[in-house]
Amino acid sequence: MLPLSIGLLIALVLVGAGVWFWRRNRGTSSGRDDRYTPERILTVEQVHMLDYLNDTFPGQVVLPNMLLKDMLSIRRASNREKAEDRLRQQRVDFVVCGEDGRPTFAFDIEQYHLSNAKAKAHQVKIKNRILKTAGVRFVFLKNGLHRMPSPSEFRKQLNLAALPQPLPKEKEDSRESRFQQLESQLSEFDQVYPATGFRDSEVMGLSGLMDLDREGRSSLSGALSSTRGELSGAGTSRAAGNSSEYKGQSKSGSSRAG
């Protein structure tokens, strides 16, 4: 009886040692026998749209499926932890980088949500607000290339909608430059003479983008003409006043000489 128990105990020890040895060596496998399967990074729709955007921005970098945390940093925030959390939660379908490698335009392909549409629309507004503070214009693309304008026409309209880039962190607290003063004046000018029905705080769709040239140019040229007329009138009045003053001084001088 005793020899049988000893034999069973030895057998259990050998089995346990074998299992331990197998598990230990499994982690140091060379991987020669491992096989992998490619997963889809982009949908077919995204592949076609990526080609379209590369034609729209030749020579520039266009990246798909980017998280906001990988393309933006926080300049200032009332609650930094929550601001970082918002960056981690948001992503865009495509982002276009300028020559300095910084993002200038961000795009999402237009989708119609049948469920939880209100909450998703709220998240889109948050995304647009975040991108706008970084000087990145956010635009919705149509869900089909047949509904998009030609790449050259699309680029032309995007140039009209580009946002000014914010100051670098180290210059943020410095004195306002002449460019910023002009930008501030133009912002007030836009409020007095709105170019289109599109509100800049809203997410820009393709229809709003394409209306910028047609409506904006006529409104802007009329407003600029009016402003130039006012400036010209003010300049003429000032010149006339100076001339009258000079004549008065000359007449006064002649009387004194007599």
**Each residue's pLDDT tens digit, 22-45:** 676 665 667 788 899 999 999 999
Q: Stretch 62-88: mean pLDDT, rounded?
A: 95
Phi, psi of 96 (to 5 degrees): -110, 130
Range picked from 29-33, 98-102, 205-209 for highest mean pLDDT: 98-102
% of the chain with per-residue pLDDT over 70: 62
d(CA 77, CA 215): 36
d(CA 40, CA 43): 7
- Give the distance, in angstroms, between the CA of residue 17 and the centroid of all CA atoms in the same chain: 59
What is the pTM assigned to this prediction?
Answer: 0.62
Q: Which helix (H) or strand (E) holds 199?
A: none
